[in-house]
Amino acid sequence: MRSDLSPVAVIGAGAIGGSWAALALSRGLVVHAADPAPGAEDALCAAVADHLTELDGAPEALDRLHFATDPAAAAAVAAFVIECGPERVEMKRELFAALDEATASDVVLASSSSGIGPSAFQDACRHPERVVVAHPFNPPHLVPLVEVVGGRLTSPETVDATMTAMRALGRSPVHVRAELPGHVVNRLQAALWREAYDLVRRGAISVADLDRAVASGPGLRWALLGPIATQHLSGGPEGLAHVLAHLGPPMVDWWADLGDPELTPELTAQLVAGVTEELGGHEREVRARRDRGLRELLATKERLGLTAVGEDTP
């Protein structure tokens, strides 16, 4: 299975596709993007130009970006394909069948799906063994994480080639060894969001204070080390064994008290009103500051040696 990347085809030119395209261009690759939506080419070029500025990429990198309205035409010249289409199984089945028909059998077909496993659509292909999920974390051109998920028919060679390709793009891939709705990281986020929403519903805390509590507390530590390593370091000489022996039983009690909210229209309105008040209409400025902070944090982690083994930050 091929692990070289150039040219790379990016199928779907929305927010995720534009981010992938900019990342590949910043790494010196040729990109063939495809999207049948009206105005997609102009929107993609504008987004990629902005992302290249964030990545310190030369503007002439845009000369290596080619656009087509037909996904099969873009995929036909690709050494690696990244699909960024809608999260609808039937649409993915149709799209992957076309991509499979258009490409050589040793070209990896990777989906950016945020929650659908490849087994749901790979059997629409003649060569299902080369279909895999490579789920990025938004925005992919800045955040290194990629979850690599094989399906029931995916070959080990495809998983290995995808891990190699993601590292070549400067990503930090993790191999998710089971197909689960939402993969791994979105499930972790969903668990936090479930309790966060319920705490707001109960009136225990406001949306703004909840965001402040996570960003000013555990979020700082989790940005440098994962939750289990962080817990281990808090346990003194005995580490995680001490933490689980002394704080494990109370934690089980907390689990029993965790909320299980229904996402009612009333709760949705409460959450939307809370975050609207928190950001005060300055979403664009906040997003820009966040992305600048991400770049600086990644550089700090690299300088301090806090990147994962084998991780190559952008």
pLDDT tens, position by position, 261-298: 899 999 999 999 999 999 999 999 999 999 999 999 99
38 and 18 inside one domain? yes
Look at residue 68 and tell me if it is in a domain: yes
Beta carbons within 8 Å of 114's beta carbon, 6+ residues apart = 87, 135, 182, 183, 186
- Residue finishing a domain among 176, 199, 226: 176
Look at residue 100 and tell me if it is in a domain: yes
Helices (H), the chain: 15-26, 40-54, 71-75, 89-102, 156-168, 185-202, 207-216, 218-222, 227-233, 239-257, 265-279, 283-304
Look at residue 291 and tell me if it is in a domain: no
37 and 130 inside one domain? yes
135 and 43 inside one domain? yes
31 and 169 inside one domain? yes
Number of independent structural domains in the chain = 2
Look at residue 99 and tell me if it is in a domain: yes
Beta carbons within 8 Å of 63's beta carbon, 6+ residues apart = none
- The span from the CA of 149 to the CA of 206, in Å, is 36
pLDDT in tens, 298-310: 999 999 998 753 4
12 and 108 inside one domain? yes
49 and 110 inside one domain? yes
Average confidence score pLDDT of the chain: 94
- The span from the CA of 84 to the CA of 51, in Å, is 17
- Segments forming the whole domain that contains residue 209: 185-281
Please name the residue that has the structure tokens 């083994």.
309
What CATH number does the domain containing 216 carry? 1.10.1040.10
23 and 172 inside one domain? yes
- pTM across the whole model: 0.91
- The span from the CA of 232 to the CA of 188, in Å, is 19
Residue 308, pLDDT score: 57
